[in-house]
Structure 1
């Protein structure tokens, strides 16, 4: 019930249109359901007298026929308009939900994505919101409302025609409620299994696409296909079970039950009519049969619709699980960076409570200095950068930029004066220019080209037919790893950050290209605070300070020559790399 109320509250942004659609639906329902009363009157007042020898009243027949056709046409036309309006509302609500879900996804803390498959998250934003739009708001809600409306109108007409018949048929309501509950019980597990399998399929497709080269290199195509087939079969089995239950309980039994009740009505009416104890016209018998059949159709439709509504509620629950995720609290204060001096004061951090990955880290980086972080995998190098970017906040200590604690400022403003080049650069669909400018409309082609030239990408641009406007698709797979890295370097340089982070930035680049970039970096780093995370010690020999991390602690610090003279872990790493 709580999910239902929340989903209904989403309509409040468009309540005027929704109210108009409902009003039109009520009006059309009254017209369509009252129309058979005209047929009853025609049978009793025009056709029945003819069977007894009276002349046919053609004028009255045509009038009533025209009234019946007019009511039917106008009622159905109004119904069409109401459906169009309600579908428009459904589209707007679905769009609003999808946009909110995407916005929340972008504002979630990085920790949320640590153990969440990308396919399942995208399924919430795209598939589940679309299901709510098409089923809950688009079809189910309007159909349930109109069928409930018809049930009320039909009962009112039946009671008007015959109080006892109308009250007797009200006994159908508890029967159909129990029927619906049984139907829901039979399909609930299958529905849950169906949507879980659908979500898994999305994740598997996403994984197969992103890891296509690895899958083929290790010959895992058959294993992945088998896993996909198993999930698809589970999804199919769930769907078949729902279809079987629906075809048996919903359609067949409703029809059988309807025929039995109609037969009972005809039998009772016929018995008393033939016995002479019941005065009833042919038109009235027509109305009894017609409205009883309509009542069963409406109740039967509700039996089928309500479980589908529950399916939508399960979808809504998953969407709200995403929407209700706690967002990171953020300050409205904007951090202003002038020098780019960075200080870590006694910083300790754990991704999971009780498992510290950083322990009492102290770093001072002056303006224009280059700080290198080295150490084996898992030593804490990337965690330090995650804290600097405020992807996470430390449990102990604080981080200062220009003497200001970054925890007191808006995250976006903290990152605004930082540039980063990752080990595996990500390029967006567009062009080389759009990837360098990051859609900054004020950045000219000359600035973009200059940034590319500084990182040594002149030859790459010269050989491309469209130059900096060469298309980039599928994360830049048409370019070599080194070329993608050069574009990522240019992107960072063009943004002209006060603080520069190079995270294993030269690990995928050949020695010749590395030398070109290293020369460009020496120029670009002037006046900037630069952090370099590197395994290749050859790239950090000129760093102002090298910090060697081991199990989350800084165990050695100094310049390249100072650490070699120390003869510790750094010297051992250097010696091993020299041998290689």
Structure 2
């Protein structure tokens, strides 16, 4: 389906309101377009009679004038009501598009985001849907207005004077030619403009997130130059569009309008002077009124068409996002009682033919702690990605309590997991809302207990508002250790069966590590726990330590056993001990 067809199809979501608006508009248009004919009767009747010395028939005059005024008044009210309804439809469609785009984004596979900047995705959901609201659906409303006006006016002109109607029809091919030339000249600049706008959003997003690194490494000038280059690309593309749009300016429309009106008045004046014209003043007024209406409608369409064209490139991108293939998911809910986790001969690759994990076998029984260690790229995070079901393995199975997680919904699977990352994310709100994750009926006593158990009591004591202390800008006002404590309290509050600690102590100092170690022990109690760690001191009490290298488990056992083996783990431990 074409982009314009796809966007027009969206109108069905508000079809009854849209049809009501159209009906009101057609009624209003009928009243307003036929009103000049009443005025023609006034000019050629009572007013012309006065010029011939006849007494003005006030009753007829006032009656006709009243009808004319009422037709215009009711027409104006109808236009206002219908345009409000049509704009309401446009806003509703844009809102639904935005909501659906956001929903699709949340259901896309994690792999979709691997090579796409956050700024470009944000542009699709925010900027592009807003552009569709203003430049497609908003413009469509006014284009519809002028098309209806054009049809009515041509119909009346043909009824009054078919020759004049045919002559004015010649204007339509002229305007179509202008628009065709405009489209050919702006296809590429429009694509370049919106691509550059997405790049600008991406660069702003990256600069904001990496502001400290940019300043520390003195990259301000380089970043500014890159931004200026992208902004310049956007400016040059827009200049090409503006130059093309100048072809279809109001000046051209006005010139053609006055040219035609001047021609008609010249012919009528010449015929009148020769005594060959039987055209009444009222009829001449109506001709000029309707001819001007034709030009106003055509001129407005010329101005509105570029906005419609601009929005099609935007619509193409929104359509592409909405049609992205989302992850298939089961509706079956996963119930977890023990939290036993098994990786049964799992092989996985992000790209076909390049396996990241090879024949992985892991069994973590209820309450056990499994530690994953290895050099960067050894496959530790990939194992966790499979457990979260961010990806599914190409071979083998991942089982929880003996159930293949592939057969259950991702949401129900993840509801049984608690995750603490090396750099925990805090949402705007309060400490309490972050612990309860904005739960509608949060248990404040349970929140307080969770914070106290993980050792966050001293932190709350120094804060004026305690657990109601505001959290802004990803928790930037808190130290790494404090953010970790809030993340541990969040996990404790959710009471998961399975716990994943992803290098939870890698960003904190030695003194804070003791507090975090205590928090880890509290949260781990009674839960099956996976720990990804670079600091071997944090995993010495693990029930199993798995050493990975190039996607394979090359060593496994307890800390003491692996030290005695004198293998890779022992070498890593020796290096860290000396450091």
Give the TM-score normalised by the residue count of structure 2: 0.96
What corresponds to 1:27 in structure 2? 27
Any idea what SS the aligned residue of 1:102 has? helix
What corresponds to 2:474 in structure 1? 475
Matches within 5 A, 1:92-241: 92-137=92-137, 139-241=138-240
Any idea what SS the aligned residue of 1:134 has? helix
Contact 2:419 2:491 in 1 (8 A): yes
Per-residue CA distance 1:349-402 (angstroms, 9 max, x = gap): 111112211111111111111111001111110010000000110111110111
Contact 2:485 2:519 in 1 (8 A): no
My pick for the range that moved more, 177-186 or 340-349, is 177-186
CA distance, structure 2, for counterparts of residue 207 and residue 122 of structure 1 = 13
My pick for the range that moved more, 266-275 or 495-504, is 266-275
Per-residue CA distance 1:31-67 (angstroms, 9 max, x = gap): 2221222222222223333333333444433333332
What corresponds to 1:525 in structure 2? 524
Any idea what SS the aligned residue of 2:361 has? strand
Per-residue CA distance 1:180-218 (angstroms, 9 max, x = gap): 211222233332222222211211111111111111111
Cα drift, residue 2 of structure 1: 2.2
CA distance, structure 2, for counterparts of residue 441 and residue 126 of structure 1 = 27
What corresponds to 2:555 in structure 1? 556
Matched, 1:354 2:353: yes
My pick for the range that moved more, 289-298 or 251-260, is 251-260
CA distance, structure 1, for counterparts of residue 66 and residue 182 of structure 2 = 42
Q: CA RMSD in A?
A: 1.7
CA distance, structure 2, for counterparts of residue 558 and residue 270 of structure 1 = 107
Any idea what SS the aligned residue of 2:114 has? helix
Any idea what SS the aligned residue of 2:455 has? coil
CA distance, structure 2, for counterparts of residue 446 and residue 410 of structure 1 = 31
Any idea what SS the aligned residue of 2:349 has? strand
My pick for the range that moved more, 473-482 or 437-446, is 437-446
CA distance, structure 1, for counterparts of residue 281 and residue 145 of structure 2 = 29
My pick for the range that moved more, 296-305 or 62-71, is 62-71
Cα drift, residue 523 of structure 1: 4.1
Matched, 1:571 2:570: yes
CA distance, structure 1, for counterparts of residue 246 and residue 374 of structure 2 = 64
CA distance, structure 1, for counterparts of residue 441 and residue 34 of structure 2 = 66
Contact 2:44 2:282 in 1 (8 A): yes
When residues 284 and 523 of structure 1 are mapped into structure 2, their CA distance, relative to the original with a 3 A threshold, is closer
Cα drift, residue 276 of structure 1: 4.1
Any idea what SS the aligned residue of 2:249 has? helix
When residues 521 and 26 of structure 1 are mapped into structure 2, their CA distance, relative to the original with a 3 A threshold, is same
What corresponds to 1:485 in structure 2? 484
Cα drift, residue 443 of structure 1: 4.0
My pick for the range that moved more, 444-453 or 384-393, is 444-453
CA distance, structure 2, for counterparts of residue 41 and residue 310 of structure 1 = 43
Cα drift, residue 520 of structure 1: 3.7
Matches within 5 A, 1:385-464: 385-464=384-463
Cα drift, residue 442 of structure 1: 4.5
Matches within 5 A, 1:75-90: 75-90=75-90
What corresponds to 1:505 in structure 2? 504
Contact 2:484 2:516 in 1 (8 A): no
My pick for the range that moved more, 216-225 or 148-157, is 216-225
CA distance, structure 2, for counterparts of residue 250 and residue 507 of structure 1 = 63
CA distance, structure 2, for counterparts of residue 524 and residue 480 of structure 1 = 20
Cα drift, residue 277 of structure 1: 4.1
Any idea what SS the aligned residue of 2:506 has? coil
Gaps spanning 5+ residues in structure 2: where?
none
Kindly tell me the number of residue pairs found equivalent between the two proteins. 579
Any idea what SS the aligned residue of 1:337 has? coil
Per-residue CA distance 1:535-558 (angstroms, 9 max, x = gap): 001111111111111111111111
When residues 449 and 228 of structure 1 are mapped into structure 2, their CA distance, relative to the original with a 3 A threshold, is same
Cα drift, residue 240 of structure 1: 3.3
CA distance, structure 2, for counterparts of residue 53 and residue 441 of structure 1 = 84
Gaps spanning 5+ residues in structure 1: where?
none
My pick for the range that moved more, 384-393 or 272-281, is 272-281
Per-residue CA distance 1:54-109 (angstroms, 9 max, x = gap): 33444433333332222222211110111111122222222211111111111111
CA distance, structure 1, for counterparts of residue 228 and residue 267 of structure 2 = 57
My pick for the range that moved more, 394-403 or 11-20, is 11-20
Any idea what SS the aligned residue of 2:376 has? coil
My pick for the range that moved more, 182-191 or 503-512, is 182-191
CA distance, structure 1, for counterparts of residue 172 and residue 314 of structure 2 = 28
Contact 2:488 2:523 in 1 (8 A): no
Any idea what SS the aligned residue of 1:332 has? coil
Matches within 5 A, 1:283-362: 283-362=282-361
When residues 473 and 176 of structure 1 are mapped into structure 2, their CA distance, relative to the original with a 3 A threshold, is same
Per-residue CA distance 1:217-272 (angstroms, 9 max, x = gap): 11222222222222223323333333333334332222222222223323333444
Any idea what SS the aligned residue of 1:372 has? strand
Per-residue CA distance 1:305-351 (angstroms, 9 max, x = gap): 12211222221211111111111111111111111111111111111
Cα drift, residue 568 of structure 1: 1.6
Give the TM-score normalised by the residue count of structure 1: 0.96
Contact 2:36 2:286 in 1 (8 A): yes
CA distance, structure 2, for counterparts of residue 558 and residue 514 of structure 1 = 24
CA distance, structure 2, for counterparts of residue 300 and residue 186 of structure 1 = 19
Any idea what SS the aligned residue of 1:115 has? coil
Contact 2:454 2:523 in 1 (8 A): no
